[in-house]
Amino acid sequence: MERADAARNRAAILAAATRLISSRGIEAVSVEDVALEAGVGKGTVFRRFGDKAGLVRAVVDSTAASWIQTASLECRTAGEFAGTLFDHVLASLPLVIAVERTTVRSCEGNFRITVERLARLVGSTFKAHTVLAVLRGEHIEFLLAQGMTADEIRAGVISLAETLAAEV
């Protein structure tokens, strides 16, 4: 059982890391920055997470766990699932891009769960990976930079997922 003060520190550190990475990008954020933002000593962050990579893994795990729970409870169709995933990616775009650029082993479990759930909705693992490929953060960032709106991209992702699901 985690002590109450340790749990508060963990939550504050994760919230600070999420905010900083989302606003600045992973490369521009140090463990010291996160500690300062969270109101803890940098030693606390290092003891808890080991290093910057461990901190990023924990941030990804916490945001993915929340998204997976929401998607599992609320999404009944491939389109709903893809739309919810798009919303998550868009809301966390800098963090998603940072994770895509880094090898983060702990993401594998969350990714596997996402693929399995989507595969059930669209009919195959290959089709699930096809939908997930268009949801890469760098791809969405590129489309936004090319002038597409978030609504246009979201509609396209949903349409793709629904089309693939209809072929089951």
* pLDDT tens, N- to C-terminus, the chain (168 residues): 778 888 899 999 999 998 998 888 888 899 999 999 999 999 999 999 999 888 988 888 887 777 777 777 777 888 888 888 898 888 888 777 777 766 555 456 777 888 899 999 999 999 999 999 999 888 999 999 999 999 999 999 999 999 999 975
Q: Determine contact, residues 135/97, Cβ cutoff 8 Å.
A: no
pTM: 0.65
Q: Determine contact, residues 131/157, Cβ cutoff 8 Å.
A: yes
Q: Determine contact, residues 79/160, Cβ cutoff 8 Å.
A: no
Kindly list the domain boundaries of the chain, sorted by start residue.
Answer: 1-50, 57-167
Q: Determine contact, residues 117/71, Cβ cutoff 8 Å.
A: yes
How many residues are given for the chain? 168
Query: CA–CA separation, 5 vs 165, rounded Å?
Result: 47
CATH topology of domain 1-50: Arc Repressor Mutant, subunit A (1.10.10)
